[in-house]
C-alpha cells in the first residue's frame, strides 16, 4: 500500500491510481491544490502494484549512453508562432497523427483547468501548444495508453519528466530498471551503454518530456483566473503563458475572451502569475527536491527552449522560437530522421546543448514565504492575495517600461544577450 510520510515523496503523476487493480486509490487535492493518492484501506488487497509503479521510489541516476542533439525550428510559421519555442513537439506529434496514432499532452478544459487529454488529428495538436505553468492532472490516461498499445496503436505521450517516468513505470511494473541501480559504476566514453531494450508493448510508444522548472499549484492558477475575470469584467476562454506577442525573447501572459480577442497582455516583469511562478512560491513540494533532474532520461525525446540560439548559429536567430532536442533512444533517432524534412535543424554536440541548463540538473530553491502564501491563498480575496505578494511597485513598472522601450527600438534582443553574458548564462 502506498503511504506518504512526506509530501516531497509524491510527484502527483497518478501512476499508483491507474495501477490499482481494485480502484481503491483516488487522487485528491490537498489544501494547496496538489493531487495526492488517497487509499481506501478497506478495499486494498496489498498487491504492492502502487509501490512498484511509483517513479519516485524507483528514481535514480541513469547510466550514460550515446545521445543525439539538435536545434529545431518548425517550417510552418503559424505553428511556430503558436508554440512555446520552435515547434519540436508538433513535429514529433505529426509523425504519430500521420500514421493513425493518438497523441497525449497537457491542455486546458472548458474551465481552463490543466489536464492530460488526447487528439488524433494534426489540427487537434493546437491545444497542446504553448506552455501551461500549472501541474496537469493525468487522470486515467496511463490506463488509456496501455489499452491503445495492447491494441497495436501508435501512441505519443508528452509531459514533465516525472509524468513520463510514472507512465513508463506503470507500463513496466514487474521490471527492475538497471538505470535505477545506485551501485552502477559511472560509464566511461569507451563503455557507454544504450538503455535497456523495451519490451514489445512499448514498441509503439513515443515519449517526450519537457525540461521542467517546477509545477505550480492548480489552486493558485484558479485564484489568478478569478482575479483576472473580476478585473477584466469578462470571461476568459483561453490563456497563453508564453505568448510571442512581443516575440520569443520577451514572452507574455495573454488572456483571450470568448471571441478570441486579446483582453490582457503582460510580460514576466508585471504579470502576477508569471511572477509567482518564477519566484517559486507556489510549487509542488517534490519540486524542491526533484528526483528527475538529470541529463540521461528514460524518454525518447527531451525538448526545451533555446534562447541563446545566436551562440550556436546566427542564421537561426530570428526571435520566433527555437527548440533544443535531445534524443535518448534509437527509436527517437529513427523518428527524427522522418520528421526533419518539416523543420530547419542543426546538429549540435550533446555536451554543448546541455551545458549550463540549470533547469535540467537542479531543483528550484524554496521560497521562505511559501507557507505564508498558501495560508493566505486559502482565505484572502484573490486580488488582495496577489497584490500582497506581487505588488505593482514603481520598480516593477520601470522594468516593464525599459523592456518595452528596448523592444520598440529594436534593441531588446541585443540588451538581453548582453545581460546573459554579464550573468554568464551563455
Q: What is the pLDDT of residues 9-37, one digit of tens each?
A: 999 999 999 999 999 999 999 999 999 99
Q: For the ranges 199-203, 217-221, 387-391, which has the lowest average pLDDT?
A: 199-203
* 63 contacts 179 by C-beta, under 8 angstroms: yes
Mean pLDDT of 272-279: 97
Alpha carbons 62 and 80: distance in angstroms, whole number? 32
Determine the Cα–Cα distance for residues 263 and 280; give it in Å rounded to an integer: 27
Q: Given pLDDT bands bounded at 50, 70 and 90, which one contains residue 415?
A: low
Please compute the mean of the pLDDT values over residues 246-251 and round it to a whole number: 89
Share of the chain above pLDDT 90, in %: 81
> CA 152: distance to chain centroid?
27
Which contiguous run of DSSP H or E holds residue 164?
Answer: helix 161-171
Q: Is the backbone of residue 139 left (phi > 0), alpha (psi -120 to 50) or beta?
A: left
Tally of helices (H runs) and strands (E runs) in the chain: 16, 13
Rounded distance, CA 273 to CA 254, Å?
Answer: 11
45: DSSP letter:
-
Give the Cβ contact number of residue 349 at 10 Å: 10
Distances (CA, A) of 38 to 16, 141, 404: 10, 18, 48
Residue 416: pLDDT over 80: no
pLDDT of 191 strictly over 90:
no
Q: How confident is the model at residue 194 (pLDDT cuts 50, 70, 90)?
A: very low
- Cβ atoms within 10 Å of 308's Cβ, excluding its own: 16
Mean pLDDT over 43-67 rounds to 90
Closest by CA position to 420, among listed 314, 306, 325: 306
pTM of whole model > 0.95? no
Average of pLDDT values for 374-387?
Answer: 97
pLDDT at 174 over 50: no
The yes-or-no verdict on residue 193 having pLDDT over 50 is no
Across 61-70, 73-82, 265-274, 313-322, least confident range: 61-70
Least confident range from 59-73, 78-92, 106-120, 248-262: namely 59-73
- How confident is the model over 113-141, as pLDDT tens digits? 999 999 999 999 999 999 999 999 999 99
Is the pLDDT confidence value at 71 over 70? Answer: yes
Q: Which residue segments constitute the domains of the chain, with CATH numbers given?
A: 7-58 (3.30.70.20), 68-216+283-361 (no CATH), 218-282+364-422 (no CATH)
Residues 6+ apart with CB under 8 A from 176: none
Cα torsion angle, 351, 355, 358, 361, sign:
positive
Q: Does 331 or 191 have the greater pLDDT score?
A: 331
Residue that wins the pLDDT comparison between 193 and 422: 422
Q: Look at residues 55, 12, 4 and name the one whose alpha carbon lies nearest to residue 32.
A: 12
**Predicted pLDDT of residue 399:** 87
Amino acid at each position: 500500500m502506498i503511504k506518504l510520510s512526506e509530501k516531497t515523496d509524491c510527484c502527483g503523476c497518478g501512476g499508483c491510481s491507474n495501477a490499482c487493480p481494485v480502484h481503491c486509490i483516488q487522487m485528491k487535492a490537498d489544501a494547496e491544490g496538489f493531487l495526492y493518492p488517497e487509499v481506501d484501506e478497506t478495499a486494498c488487497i496489498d498487491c504492492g502494484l502502487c509501490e512498484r509503479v511509483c517513479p519516485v521510489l524507483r528514481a535514480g541516476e541513469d547510466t550514460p549512453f550515446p545521445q543525439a542533439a539538435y536545434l529545431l525550428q518548425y517550417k510552418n510559421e503559424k505553428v511556430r508562432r503558436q508554440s512555446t519555442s520552435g515547434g519540436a513537439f508538433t513535429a514529433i506529434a505529426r509523425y504519430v497523427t500521420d500514421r493513425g496514432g493518438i497523441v497525449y499532452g497537457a491542455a486546458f478544459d472548458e474551465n481552463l483547468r490543466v489536464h492530460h487529454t488526447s487528439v488524433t488529428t494534426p489540427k487537434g495538436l493546437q491545444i497542446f501548444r504553448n506552455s501551461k505553468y500549472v501541474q496537469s492532472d493525468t487522470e486515467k490516461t496511463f490506463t488509456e495508453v496501455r489499452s491503445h498499445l495492447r491494441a497495436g496503436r501508435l501512441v505519443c505521450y508528452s509531459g514533465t519528466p516525472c509524468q513520463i517516468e510514472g507512465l513508463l513505470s506503470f507500463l513496466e511494473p514487474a521490471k527492475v530498471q538497471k538505470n535505477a541501480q545506485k551501485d552502477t559504476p559511472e560509464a566511461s566514453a569507451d563503455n557507454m551503454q544504450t538503455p535497456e531494450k523495451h519490451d514489445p508493448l512499448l514498441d509503439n510508444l513515443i515519449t517526450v518530456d519537457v525540461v521542467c522548472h517546477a509545477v505550480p499549484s492548480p489552486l493558485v492558477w484558479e485564484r489568478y483566473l478569478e482575479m483576472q475575470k473580476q478585473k477584466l469584467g469578462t470571461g476568459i476562454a483561453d490563456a497563453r503563458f508564453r505568448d510571442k506577442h512581443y516575440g520569443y525573447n520577451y514572452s507574455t501572459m495573454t488572456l483571450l475572451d470568448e471571441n478570441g480577442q486579446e483582453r490582457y497582455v503582460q510580460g514576466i516583469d508585471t504579470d502576477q502569475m508569471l511572477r509567482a511562478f518564477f519566484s517559486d512560491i507556489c510549487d509542488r513540494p517534490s519540486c524542491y527536491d526533484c528526483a528527475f533532474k538529470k541529463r540521461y532520461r528514460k524518454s525518447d525525446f527531451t525538448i526545451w527552449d533555446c534562447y541563446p540560439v545566436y551562440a550556436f548559429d546566427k542564421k537561426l536567430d530570428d526571435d520566433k522560437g527555437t527548440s533544443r532536442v535531445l534524443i535518448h533512444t534509437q527509436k527517437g533517432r529513427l523518428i527524427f530522421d522522418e520528421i526533419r524534412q518539416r523543420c530547419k535543424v542543426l546538429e549540435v554536440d550533446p555536451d554543448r546543448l546541455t551545458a549550463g541548463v540549470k533547469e535540467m540538473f537542479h531543483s528550484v530553491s524554496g521560497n521562505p514565504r511559501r507557507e505564508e502564501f498558501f495560508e493566505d491563498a486559502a482565505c484572502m480575496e484573490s486580488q488582495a492575495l496577489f497584490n500582497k505578494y506581487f505588488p505593482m511597485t514603481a520598480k516593477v513598472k520601470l522594468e516593464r517600461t525599459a523592456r518595452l522601450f528596448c523592444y520598440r527600438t529594436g534593441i531588446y534582443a541585443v540588451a538581453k544577450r548582453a545581460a546573459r553574458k554579464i550573468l554568464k548564462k551563455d
